[in-house]
A and B are shown apart, each in its own frame.
Chain A
Amino acid sequence: MASYWQAVGENLWLALDTLRTHKFRSLLTVLGVLIGTTTVILVASIIAGLDHAVGAGGRAIWDQGGLGLQASDGGSAQTDARGTAAQTLSYEDAMAIKEQCPAVDEVSVAIFSELSEFGLPPSTARYKGQNGGGAVMVSSQLPYHCQTRPLPTGVSSPQRTTCIAGTSP
């Protein structure tokens, strides 16, 4: 039994002696383990975060029975997968959905195209001579995931048909 503990002690001293005599190599070994472990944790965290973010976004829409359609109401002709001319959507189509589909509670019409796509300069916003600029987007209604602060007393609620007119700064 004594020889067992003596062997353990000798091995321990040998290990410590090796660490002492090869400090840089030991440092590199520890560094490698640290970097490897950190990378694994980081990748796992990013994947979990992305999964959560995408899942939450999807659930926010589908929990409310959301459905999205997008099409141009004019411009170049488009064809669908069957080779036939694709139908286009307009504000009137959205209103027709709202009036004629009893299962639909809310309809939103938005224009997400940036003005720069049409060869126009990006929108700018200005307040008291201070400028800010960015791409312009339009929406007839606040997105589902928007949470508005309560409006102050005396201020009427925003109209149902509102739109994103610009971004800033």
Chain B
Amino acid sequence: MIAANVVEHFFQNEDPVGKTIVVDGHTFEVIGTLHKFKGFLGDSPDDRDIFIPYWAYRKLYPAAKDHFVSAMAAARTTG
């Protein structure tokens, strides 16, 4: 998955889905794109992200170890 600025940078005149990009020498197929983030002061740095599978990242970059864990509560109705 690639964010909006990556789409603009590499795929100005073509559909990115199905194309392959090379990230640090490793080839990934683009399976989707993200909308532009709504930053208060112009572009958001999140617009430059590239998403790849978690375990692929761990395999490619074993030095990165700081995890951020977020949990979302399930919606519950009472009564």
**Nearest CB to that of B74 among chain A residues?**
A105
Residues of A within 8 A of B68 (CB): 68-70, 109-112, 139
A103-B73, A169-B9 as given contacts; A72 in contact with B31, CB under 8 Å: no
Q: Mark A52-83, 1 if CB is under 8 A from B, else 0.
A: 01000000000011111111111100000000
**Nearest CB to that of A75 among chain B residues?**
B65
- Give Cα A69–Cα B70 distance, bound, in whole angstroms: 6
The interface centre, meaning the residue of A49, A50, A72, A139 with most chain B CB atoms within 10 A of its CB, is A139
Determine how close the nearest CB of chain A comes to the CB of B39; give it in whole angstroms.
8
B1 near A162 (CB under 8 angstroms)? yes
Determine how close the nearest CB of chain B comes to the CB of A65; give it in whole angstroms.
3
A148-B32, A167-B45 as given contacts; A124 in contact with B23, CB under 8 Å: yes
A68-B70, A70-B68, A149-B35 as given contacts; A123 in contact with B24, CB under 8 Å: yes
Q: Looking at chain B's contact residues, is the secondary structure mostly helix, strand, loop, or mixed?
A: mixed
Q: Mark A79-123, 1 if CB is under 8 A from B, else 0.
A: 000000000011101100110011111111111110100101001
A165 near B32 (CB under 8 angstroms)? no
Q: Mark B37-62, 1 if CB is under 8 A from A, else 0.
A: 10010000110111111111110110
A43 proximal to B (CB < 8 A)? no
A104 near B21 (CB under 8 angstroms)? no
A15 proximal to B (CB < 8 A)? no
B65 near A66 (CB under 8 angstroms)? no
B67 near A110 (CB under 8 angstroms)? yes
- Give Cα A46–Cα B9 distance, bound, in whole angstroms: 30
B residues touching A (Cβ–Cβ < 8 Å)?
1, 5-6, 9-11, 17-19, 21-24, 28, 31-35, 37, 40, 45-46, 48-58, 60-61, 63-76
